[in-house]
Amino acid sequence: MEKVKAFADWLTKWFTVIVIVWAVFNYFVPAASLWGKAYTGYMLGIVLFGMGLTLTLDDFKRILTQPLMVIVGTVAHFIIMPLIAVALCAIFHLSGPLAVGVILVGCCPSGTSYVMSYLSRGDVALDVSIGILSTLCAPFMIPLLMQLLASQYVSVPTQSLFLNAVKVVLFPIALGVICHMIFGKKIEKVTVALPIVSQVAILLIIGVVVAANGPKLFVASSLVAIPVVILHNLCGY
């Protein structure tokens, strides 16, 4: 297990570099990941199932012990990030699928903000609680926000968006939490390897995205998205 943990720590340390190298590789060799296009939903489910396995009842109890701060943080996320996305779309004159994609990113719950809290010596436990609540709210908030903010660009299928969010987000997390409750201490032996599994799944998803969209990545319309995404993250921080 020590070797597994050491490898997990190494992978986490160099993950950004590995992502860049992997993305470049898939741009030039798209066949390496195109096979996984039909399985991206399952890969994301694996990541969220792993998240559920790491959660305990104490994580949910913390939401009740600090309800005001958790609710304020969650509400702020679902207001600030989507509105920043809308503002950037207006500033950069984005429209169509590109604008919808930027707004969708703004409406999704943050997945790794607790890392930034840790690095900035913030309240990591509080951030984890906000992350849990925002993720649980995602199936309801994403369709609602997309209908309000993106329906001017495309017709938003709110019902299917809600059902997909429940299937891809809520179900895997709930299954992970249930498994943790049933198997208890036995799960803790497995959680050492979860960072590796999750990061490999994320790499596979990135590979699929780059491989499937390689020809479109460096056209003028797509290049505009790069500064927009960077600014969206920076403004959020």
Question: What is the pLDDT, as a whole number, of residue 131?
Answer: 80
Please provide the DSSP assignment of 55-123 as one string.
--HHHHHHHHHSHHHHHHHHHHHHHHHHHHHHHHHHHTT--HHHHHHHHHHHHSPPSSHHHHHHHTT--
CA pair distance 234, 237, nearest whole angstrom: 5
| Burial classification of residue 32, based on how many CB atoms lie within 10 Å of its CB (0-12 exposed, 13-18 middle, 19 or more buried) | middle
Euclidean distance between CA atoms 134 and 110, whole angstroms: 8
DSSP string, 112-139: SHHHHHHHTT--HHHHHHHHHHHHHHHH
What is the band of 170 on the pLDDT scale with cuts at 50, 70, 90? confident
Average pLDDT, the chain: 82
| Least trusted range by pLDDT, from 34-38, 105-109, 153-157 | 153-157
pLDDT band at 1 (very low <50, low <70, confident <90, very high): low
Q: What is the pLDDT of residues 29-49, one digit of tens each?
A: 888 888 888 888 888 888 888
What's at 38, amino acid-wise?
A
3: amino acid identity, one letter: K
pLDDT at 22: 92
Can you tell me the mean pLDDT for 212-229? 78
From 52-56, 76-80, 105-109, 176-180, the region with the lowest mean pLDDT = 52-56
